[in-house]
Amino acid sequence: MALEDARVGRRNEAGIAAVIGILKQAFGERFQTGVAYRAQHAHTTTYIPAQFPDGVLFVEGADDVKAAVRTCAEHKVPVIAFGTGSSLEGQVNAPNGGISLDFSRMNRILEVNAEDLDCTVEPGVTREQLNTYLRDTGLFFPIDPGANASIGGMASTRASGTNAVRYGTMKENVLAVTAVTAKGEEIRTARRARKSSAGYDLTRLLVGAEGTLGILTSITLKLQGIPQKIVGGVCGFPSVKAACDAVIMTIQMGVPVARIEILDAAQIKACNNYSGLSYDERPTLFLEFHGSDETVALQSAQFGEIAAECGGGEFLWTANAEERTKLWKARHDAYWASRALAPTLAALSTDVCVPISRLADCVSETQADLEAHGLLATIVGHAGDGNFHVLLLFDDTAADSVAGIEAFVSRLTARALAMDGTCTGEHGIGQGKIGFLEQELGGAVDLMRQLKASLDPDNILNPGKIFRMG
Amino acid sequence: MALEDARVGRRNEAGIAAVIGILKQAFGERFQTGVAYRAQHAHTTTYIPAQFPDGVLFVEGADDVKAAVRTCAEHKVPVIAFGTGSSLEGQVNAPNGGISLDFSRMNRILEVNAEDLDCTVEPGVTREQLNTYLRDTGLFFPIDPGANASIGGMASTRASGTNAVRYGTMKENVLAVTAVTAKGEEIRTARRARKSSAGYDLTRLLVGAEGTLGILTSITLKLQGIPQKIVGGVCGFPSVKAACDAVIMTIQMGVPVARIEILDAAQIKACNNYSGLSYDERPTLFLEFHGSDETVALQSAQFGEIAAECGGGEFLWTANAEERTKLWKARHDAYWASRALAPTLAALSTDVCVPISRLADCVSETQADLEAHGLLATIVGHAGDGNFHVLLLFDDTAADSVAGIEAFVSRLTARALAMDGTCTGEHGIGQGKIGFLEQELGGAVDLMRQLKASLDPDNILNPGKIFRMG
């Protein structure tokens, strides 16, 4: 963690000083201004330099959030929600300074309605905490972005991950939220009904808004029944194209695969080294099927036939929980496995998402690009959604190395956009992809700015993210 | 169709006259101001009195929409999108007059990407037209709100229907739209990727906005593979409670039922009479399963066990396409079957949606309410979503009869809200449910007004719908 503050934005010094005084008075030790706290709350799993907030408030309930936002609103000072700091595009940075609201103490599970398959949680609850809590109910929350992120952060970046191909993203799995607006008022976006046509979809407007339109104070989530049977498996392919063809056929035939992940040969090599495995070093799909004894057997057999047709190797699958856990642990450790390829280098994880028919092209062209530019990187993707990540390892102290990485990300994004894809499938825009959002959506970004200006005219809610104002 | 204009809003007479002149000049016979055209475009399947627009423009492309909106914007005249007129809450009425844009000629299917399971259509394409077009591709579009509505209208009211329990609503099935803003500029909300974290979810903001934030000019939809096997079945229950218990267990156990509809005894009686059937006149579930030979057999057997456990009768199912079509035709004709109970009376179809655990209570209490007030009505519901419709038959020429119906709808909505439900699961707010939206979401409606004011400051896009401004 670098204790260096790279803030460059316009700071409202008088307002910040006033807010610090008020919050100290009101919250005592729950409000911290020490540099270690400030640094920690600008620190994320990102290559983007940290920009520290001026103070950190450990909120314990919606009333704290309202009070803090009202104070910040009165003095026109930025306020930034912080979950676990696992965002990847600088979402929690404070370019203009301001107050970080730490939600780690707002981690209560408020309500579980098992009959309705829903629950309501505070934003600081993490996905692992929620699933541990739910275990005895026979239910689970399926969204799995890798990191043990907070539900508030996952909602705010519209997270997804390995299970999205079966269960959807946060967009599909948040039923309602409560949020504090820039005026410091708490609103509720929807009731607990499974569907509604009642007015504008404020739930979906706040999901993915990265804390720029309101600060979440509770989230009502859909839950799923824990499948009676889960089987996992692995299948190697002679080429990325062959693996992607198998994915397309699987999706087209409506096989309800729960996970279908692609790892390129470089990633498999890294995983073998890191996790002590011995997979063939070639493009590989990791799969999981959820259902009953009968349905998972059917689905696995269907996939095996598809894989064979696409030139894949034998589809090895297991219902043994321990073996399955080991398999998926290797997949989840892919990030650390790649980092271990060059432990002294910095890492940048970027993602794009394309229509599934273009996934093979996009991955293959990206591999050729990496090779042509001599870049060290691994590729792992949520293939069923057409979404993949490139983890680049580079020397962040060398300007030409950084420039080379930035140029690569530009080419990757241009490639995805040319295929009618998006510049980010699940990481969000934050600070890192502001320019790409304009390339992707053009005039629609002006409309986003209009919405932002109407709900947050003083631009106090997480300013400098998603787009630049004015 | 009543040729009577019940407009009561504030009219900008000078602006309307100017716009009529300009559109006549620009569009010739494609712009009509005759009373028959005007009446037809305020006519919907609703009890709400018609409020005619001042003219109807048959748009043939996005450029027409842009030109019309720019003209209306310049003169501050309302502009209202019209699909097929099957909305139920007065969504196409023109309380302040203005111009109706008829999309029936914008009915081209622009693109089908079979490999990606998506397509892009103009708003005037109807769901039946789309499915007829898709038949040879092996794909289908699952959203089925009953009426042969236009895709633009379905998106704008966030429609759903019988298949939503399996395939979701329009919210889950629209990947992207293009829309003309109140300034007359066309924007695109997203690319074709299956998921994206790129900025605010403008797609979901426009889906369900009832044409008040922008006018759709194209819609990109998710498609599904036509299931290898479809079976349908019917099962009677001794009570609404028993039927709902079977639904809850089915959903909780994760049986991927494609349709699970509840019809109350009164509705079954009406269907028997209308469609020449002989079902036992008791609460009944209509079901459909989609999958392979093996999976539909498994699912049907699972449901049969659940039904038996809940005291249901024998679960009779068929894979025969003709029998299945007959069964679902009876379900789809439920509206007309109910109307036939009293052909001279007017009908009001209203809907609410509650958490599924409360469905039995909500339906049972509603039946008791109908009985206590001597109202003639049938109930049919998308039970898997907790969503049900009450079709009330009443004399719309008698003030006390109308008042009685209105009082019932208020009680029904209050009941649903008290159960943490919504005042409308799929019909939308339109004019008919404006007051209920305030009851349901309180301060969040102010936020909707702020959004509306920012995107449409002169309130020209379908004014008087969802909420009242100022």
pLDDT digit string, tens, across residues B113-136: 999 999 999 999 999 999 999 999
Which residue in chain A has the smallest CA separation from B115? A357
**Which of B386, B427, B428 faces A194 most closely, judged by CB atoms?**
B386
Q: What are residue A43's DSSP bridge partners?
A: none
Scan residues 369-408 of A and list those with Cβ closer than 8 Å to B.
385-387
Whether residue B168 lies within 8 A of chain A, CB to CB, comes out as yes
What residues of A are in contact with residue B416 (Cβ under 8 Å)? 193
Q: Which fold has domain B341-426?
A: Alpha-Beta Plaits (3.30.70)
Q: Do domains B229-336 and B341-426 have the same CATH topology?
A: yes
Pair A441, B188: CB distance under 8 Å: yes
Scan residues 282-301 of A and list those with Cβ closer than 8 Å to B.
292, 294-295, 298
Please tell me the CATH code under which domain A228-428 is placed: 3.40.462.10
Residue positions counted in chain A? 470
Contacts of B91 (CB under 8 A, 6+ apart): B44, B153, B156, B157, B210, B211, B428, B430, B431, B462, B465
Q: Which residue has the tokens 């809200």?
A: B417
The per-residue pLDDT for range B31-68, each reduced to its tens digit, is 999 999 999 999 777 778 899 999 999 999 999 999 99
Residue B352's nearest CA partner among B429, B239, B265, B243 is: B429
CATH for B13-104, options being 3.30.43.10, 2.60.40.1110, 3.30.70.1450, 3.20.20.70: 3.30.43.10
Rounded to whole angstroms, how far apart are CA atoms A467 and A451? 12
Over pLDDT 70: what percentage of chain B?
Answer: 98
Is the pLDDT score of B225 beyond 60? yes
For the B229-336 domain, the top CATH level (class) is: alpha beta
**Closest chain B C-alpha to A52 CA, distance in angstroms:** 23
CATH for A109-225, options being 3.30.465.10, 3.40.50.140, 3.40.50.1970, 3.40.50.2020: 3.30.465.10
Residue B169's nearest CA partner among B154, B147, B184, B180 is: B154
Whether residue B428 lies within 8 A of chain A, CB to CB, comes out as yes
pLDDT at residue B332, rounded to an integer: 87
What residues of A are in contact with residue B298 (Cβ under 8 Å)? 292, 294-295
pLDDT band at B9 (very low <50, low <70, confident <90, very high): low
- What is the interface pTM, i.e. ipTM, of the complex? 0.96
**Segments of chain A with pLDDT less than 70:** 1-9, 470
**Residue A1 neighbours by CB distance under 10 Å:** 9
Give the tokens for residue A104: 């780690």
Domain residue spans of chain A: 13-104, 109-225, 228-428, 433-459
Is A189–B444 a contact, with Cβ atoms under 8 angstroms apart?
A: yes
Is A437–B354 a contact, with Cβ atoms under 8 angstroms apart?
A: no
**Which of B199, B208, B453 faces A200 most closely, judged by CB atoms?**
B208
Q: Which of A113, A120, A200 to mutate to test the interface with B (most CBs of B within 10 A)?
A: A200
**Which of A168, A444, A467 faces B188 most closely, judged by CB atoms?**
A444
Three-class secondary structure of residue B150 per DSSP: strand
**Which of B199, B227, B433 faces A441 most closely, judged by CB atoms?**
B199
pLDDT at residue A4, rounded to an integer: 64
Residue B110's nearest CA partner among B173, B170, B62 is: B62
The per-residue pLDDT for range A244-269, each reduced to its tens digit, is 999 999 998 889 999 999 999 999 99
- β-strand pairing of A99-102 with A79-82: parallel
pLDDT, averaged across chain B: 95
